A and B are shown apart, each in its own frame.
Chain A
Amino acid sequence: DTAVSQTPKYLVTQMGNDKSIKCEQNLGHDTMYWYKQDSKKFLKIMFSYNNKELIINETVPNRFSPKSPDKAHLNLHINSLELGDSAVYFCASSQDLAGGITEGYEQYFGPGTRLTVT
């Protein structure tokens, strides 16, 4: 009965490859997020989707493309991986008021995907 799950947990790949990370939540939430935590442990939002619609894109290189086939899933595809993409990627979800307003609502995080680019 995992709330927010991600696959894979670990991903080791070479520069230039394309890879995907999958995220699923069974909480019935309408809003999902991708965060990146770098080696300095700084956790920063990348994208947010509300009911399959992109609402936040934080100046992320367009090599990163999120896709939300339905509101329970938010996948992240990364093209032409670079060394600097090595990080832990967390998916999260939250409930929201109509219109994607998530003020004050807790975000539940997945266990993270540790990506290492060599």
Chain B
Amino acid sequence: RKEVEQDPGPFNVPEGATVAFNCTYSNSASQSFFWYRQDCRKEPKLLMSVYSSGNEDGRFTAQLNRASQYISLLIRDSKLSDSATYLCAYTGTASKLTFGTGTRLQVTL
């Protein structure tokens, strides 16, 4: 089993739609969790850290479920500019980021 698994997509959604991605991880010792956004041919940029209580930033909501070992990202009112690849990641005891392979989102008119 891969350390971090994501549905590669693509998720094709119309503008204004709500879309959710899940990411499962296998290392139960994982400490901190993140969602990164990566545009085509660009570097990953942190979108959100994921706290155990869940957190929200505008249209974006992240949740962590340690019992089932997954994190989720919900995007409400999708914009064209949300089109990108979304990478989930965690740090474990080795203090390194382990990434999933990403979920591609395409928002259309």
A and B associate: yes
Question: How many inter-chain residue pairs (CB < 8 Å) link A and B?
Answer: 54
Q: Which of B34, B43, B99 contacts A42 (CB 8 A)?
A: B99
Shortest Cβ gap from B77 to chain A (Å): 25
Cβ–Cβ contact B97 & A103, under 8 A:
no
CB of B43 within 8 A of CB of A48, answer: no
Tell me whether B49 is interfacial, beta carbon within 8 Å: yes
Q: Which of A13-21, A61-69, A76-84, A107-115 is found at the contact surface with chain B?
A: A107-115
Which B residue's beta carbon lies closest to that of A109? Answer: B43
Which A-chain residue is minimally distant from B93 (CB atoms)? A103
Assuming the A-B contacts A90-B43, A109-B43, are A45 and B96 also in contact, with contact meaning beta carbons closer than 8 angstroms in the complex? yes
Task: Kindly list chain B residues whose C-beta atoms are within 8 Å of the C-beta of A90.
Answer: 43-44
Q: Of A33, A40, A100, A111, which is within 8 A of B101 by CB?
A: A40
Name the interface size band of chain B: 20 to 34
- Given contacts A104-B32, A109-B43, A111-B42, are A43 and B99 in contact (CB under 8 A)? yes
* A45:B98 contact, CB within 8 angstroms: yes
CB distance from B96 to the nearest CB of A (A): 5
How far is B32's CA from A106's CA once the two chains are assembled, in angstroms? Answer: 10
- Residues on B facing A (Cβ under 8 Å): 31-32, 34, 41-46, 49, 85, 87, 91, 94-99, 101-102
List A residues at the B interface (Cβ < 8 Å).
Answer: 31, 33, 35, 40-45, 48, 55-56, 58, 90, 96, 100-104, 106-112
Q: List 6 A-B contacts (CB under 8 A).
A: A42-B99, A43-B44, A44-B99, A109-B45, A110-B43, A112-B43
